[in-house]
Amino acid sequence: MTEPLTPELRSERLVLSAYVASDEPDFVALFQDEAVGRWFGDGMRSAEEDRALFARLFSIVYAEKRFPVWAVRHEGRYAGHAEIKRSPEAWLDGHEIVYGLSKDSWGLGLGTELARLLTDYGHRALGLPEVHATVDSLNTPSVTVLKRLGYTQGREVRDDDGRTTLQFTSRAGNWPS
């Protein structure tokens, strides 16, 4: 039996599992919340675009077994989104973690717990020598989480919109066993 592309992952307080159709309203609400959605990809999209993105998780990402994408749950409730995939950035050759938590999950240490779980999965289950994260330089909470986990900052890339994206890297040799 082969391991599912999006296996269930658990930490002390979080459960990560593949999305199900009934997660669509929570997914769209997460990405539509400007405090959260502005940090994903190229920033805010319309609710219609986020619904289409959710549909593509099933029709493309899961159907074609492209990369793991998880719904994040805390105390049984939807709390956020997570994935690990080949970086879409031309300047970054490798895999990166992507995650976001709903505002009502902020301040509980769940971001650190989630990033740790994803990084550990990348190093241990996928055997990646490096796990990357790309973060807007103004996203101080995510920068803090990554530094707390021992990620080191690499490149600073100026985006077309004038913002700066920071590259962070976790190396397997430095990751706790």
CA distance 68 to 87: 13
* Least confident residue range of 41-45, 139-143, 145-149, 172-176: 41-45
Q: Contacts by 150-153 with C-beta closer than 8 Å and gap 24+?
A: 150/174, 150/175, 151/119
Q: What is the pTM of this model?
A: 0.91
Confidence at residue 1, expressed as pLDDT on a 0 to 100 scale:
32
Confidence at residue 101, expressed as pLDDT on a 0 to 100 scale:
93
pLDDT range class, residue 108, cuts 50, 70, 90: very high
Residue 94 pLDDT greater than 70, yes or no: yes
Looking up tokens 């930490």 gives: 11
* Least confident residue range of 38-42, 54-58, 162-166: 38-42
Confidence at residue 38, expressed as pLDDT on a 0 to 100 scale:
67
CA distance 140 to 11: 24
CA dihedral of residues 45, 100, 153, 85 (deg, nearest 10): -80
pLDDT range class, residue 115, cuts 50, 70, 90: very high
Q: What is the mean pLDDT of residues 152-162?
A: 89
Residue 36 pLDDT greater than 90, yes or no: no
For 32-86, give the DSSP string: HSHHHHTTSTTS---HHHHHHHHHHIIIIIITTT-S-EEEEEETTEEEEEEEEEE
CA distance 119 to 49: 29
